[in-house]
Amino acid sequence: MEKFKTEMADHFLSLYEGNMRSIVYGDGKTNAKLVMVGEAPGEQETIQGKPFVGKAGKNLAEFLNLSGLERKDLYITNTVKIRPTRISPAGRIVNRPPTKEEIALFLPWLKKEIALVKPKCVCTLGNVPLKALAGNEYTIGDVHGQFIEKDGMLIYPMYHPASMIYNPSIKSIYAEDVVRLGEWMRENA
């Protein structure tokens, strides 16, 4: 994994400038049975150098508690590993969704990273990693909580843990999906 990080740094640091140069690498057990993949790091993740340590990370931790899964046993990473930003009308640096080009640029690295960990299951958080890994035809609202097999990879799509900040009605669905994942992991991994 260290070699992978060095190769990725060599590749991306020559492409990006300024505050886009901070790569947030995956975090956790490098031989984990479960890999969780988010969208892209936000401000806190970039400051602390770890995925899911901001508000979305707090939500994720709460729900992991329900499932019996522990963060220390997982490997958590993002589809895009730099923080995509834009300037808001008020002049502040804010997050934006990653572009198709950014996702395509990082996707081979995500696949390599997953191949290094060799998990039993890849849990995608939200539409970005779902579409990147399973295919554009999938939408989280249709397939959350259902296993998808793609190129020998078992994918378990869940909503993004930030989605319930905007849509609290997702909370109970999220709880069910994460509990089912915990059960599956105990039985199969």
Which residue ranges make up the site for ligand URA (CB under 6 A)?
38-42, 45, 51-52, 54, 56, 78, 162
Closer to ligand URA by Cβ: residue 59 or 67:
59
Task: CB nearer to ligand URA: give 51 or 157.
Answer: 51
Q: Which residue is nearest to ligand URA (CB)?
A: 38
For the bound state, the minimum distance from the C-beta of residue 42 to ligand URA, rounded and expressed in Å, comes to 5
CA distance 106 to 178: 26
Q: Amino acid identity, residue 59? A: N
Judged by beta carbon, residue 45 or residue 185, the one nearer ligand URA is 45
Give dist(CA 185, CA 67) in Å, integer: 10
Residue 65 Cβ, how far from ligand URA at the closest point, in Å? 18
Q: Please tell me the distance from the alpha carbon of residue 105 to that of residue 45, in angstroms, as a whole number.
A: 20
Residue placing its CB nearer to ligand URA in the complex, 58 or 186 = 58
**Residue 144 CB, nearest distance to ligand URA (Å)?**
15
CA 73/CA 130 separation, integer angstroms = 22
Q: Which residues contact 136 (CB under 8 A, 6 or more apart)?
A: none
